[in-house]
Amino acid sequence: MVRVLIVDDTQFIRASLRLMLERHDDIEIVGEADTGTKAVSMYQRLKPDVVTMDISMPNMDGIEAVRRIISADPNAKVCMITSMGKEQVVKESILTGAKGFIVKPFYEDKVVDVLKKLAGKKEEKNT
């Protein structure tokens, strides 16, 4: 089971990710946050396997939230999911500690594959 914390300031994006991920029996949504501040607090309390993190959010952006999460738990696995696909933003996210990066619009197969890989779970294919 992959335990996921969804972080995005847009309710529609959180709902889209939730619907997408809930279709998979081996993924559990443990929480949702709409700010970086809430994300850091929820991460410490819930200890998810993987966090999906938007970059542009009020109060504390995703990059600062990743910095604080990684500072508290160097083994944290955070995947940035953002519309900001600029090279500098990608570099800054990775240097801060993000382990994955997905540009919006995102697709279910890609999101599920990346999250499972980050969590150390491989996608099982029916043959």
CA distance 26 to 55: 26
Sign of the torsion formed by the C-alpha atoms of 60, 62, 65 and 71? negative
Per-residue pLDDT tens over the stretch 51-92: 999 998 988 999 999 999 999 999 999 999 988 767 888 889
Show me where the domains of the chain are located.
Answer: 2-119
Domain 2-119 carries which CATH code? 3.40.50.2300
Cβ(17)–Cβ(6) below 8 Å? yes
| pTM of the entire predicted model | 0.92
